[in-house]
């Protein structure tokens, strides 16, 4: 093989046989995962909103203490934000995780929950006070994380994962080559659209 197929291995593409290459020619839609493919894969906190006069730093530090025990990709962003702010990050006890919903436990003697609005509601908390600011963050393309302290909503953390600089051009090239592009993401539509290519 000469020409572009010969360059494929240097671009990280493995073509196993000629049949695979012929199949690729018939592909009309490219489906890609957002996180780490179209975006940098390095989520970062963009916005922190404290509710009801709560201390923003305390909320971030306690959330980070809980998230330090989590394996969720957004957890590292919250911990990094606490470190960036020079906040104390107390260890978590009684850590519990509900996949796709959130985490809860005791941090510094306080009951802390971090996750979706539905997760807090499931624990009997009214998230109405957070609805308007949460909608604003989501409209800006941020993934909204709710934080509760001692059984009451305490605030929101908005997280973004920047689009790679090469993404818009890569999508344009695919579409110029008669291929549509579609994105899959674990975020809600506003955050996914905010993280998608321009």
Arithmetic mean of pLDDT, 171-196: 67
Using 50, 70 and 90 to split pLDDT, how confident is the model at 22? confident
**Residue 33 appears among annotated catalytic residues:** yes
Arithmetic mean of pLDDT, 112-117: 97
CA atoms within 13 A on the CB side of 106: 4
Find the helix or strand (DSSP H, E) in which 46 lies: strand 44-50
> Which is higher by pLDDT, 193 or 123?
123
Residue 118: pLDDT above 70? yes
Using 50, 70 and 90 to split pLDDT, how confident is the model at 2? very low
> Contact, 14 vs 8, CB < 8 A?
yes
DSSP characters over 112-174: EEEE-HHHHHHTT---HHHHHHHHHHHHTTPEEEEEEETTEEEEEEEEE-PBPTTHHHHHHHH
From the candidates 33, 55, 93, 94, give the one annotated as an active-site residue: 33
Residue 89: pLDDT above 80? yes
CA atoms within 13 A on the CB side of 139: 6
Residue 57: pLDDT above 50? yes
Give the fold, CATH level 3, of 44-157. Answer: Calcium-transporting ATPase, cytoplasmic domain N (3.40.1110)
Residue 158: strand pairing partners = 47, 144
Arithmetic mean of pLDDT, 98-119: 96
pLDDT in tens, 122-154: 999 999 999 999 999 999 989 999 999 999 999
């Amino acid at each position: 093989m000469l020409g572009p197929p010969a360059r494929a291995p240097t671009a990280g593409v493995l073509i196993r046989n000629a049949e695979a290459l012929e199949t690729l020619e018939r592909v009309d839609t490219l489906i890609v995962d957002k996180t780490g493919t179209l975006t940098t894969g390095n989520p970062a906190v963009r916005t922190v909103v404290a509710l009801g006069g709560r201390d923003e730093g305390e909320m971030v530090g306690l959330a980070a203490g809980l998230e330090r025990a989590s394996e969720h990709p957004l957890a590292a962003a919250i911990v990094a934000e606490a470190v960036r702010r020079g906040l104390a990050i107390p260890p978590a006890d009684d850590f519990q995780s509900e996949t796709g919903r959130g985490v809860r436990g005791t941090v510094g003697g306080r009951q802390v929950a971090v996750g979706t609005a539905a997760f807090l509601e499931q624990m009997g908390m009214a998230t109405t006070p957070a609805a308007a600011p949460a909608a604003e963050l989501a409209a800006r393309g941020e993934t909204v994380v709710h934080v509760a302290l001692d059984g009451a909503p305490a605030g929101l953390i908005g997280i973004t994962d920047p689009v790679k600089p090469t993404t818009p051009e890569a999508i344009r090239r695919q579409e110029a080559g008669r291929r549509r592009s579609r994105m899959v993401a674990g975020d809600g539509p506003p955050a996914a659209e905010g993280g998608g290519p321009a």
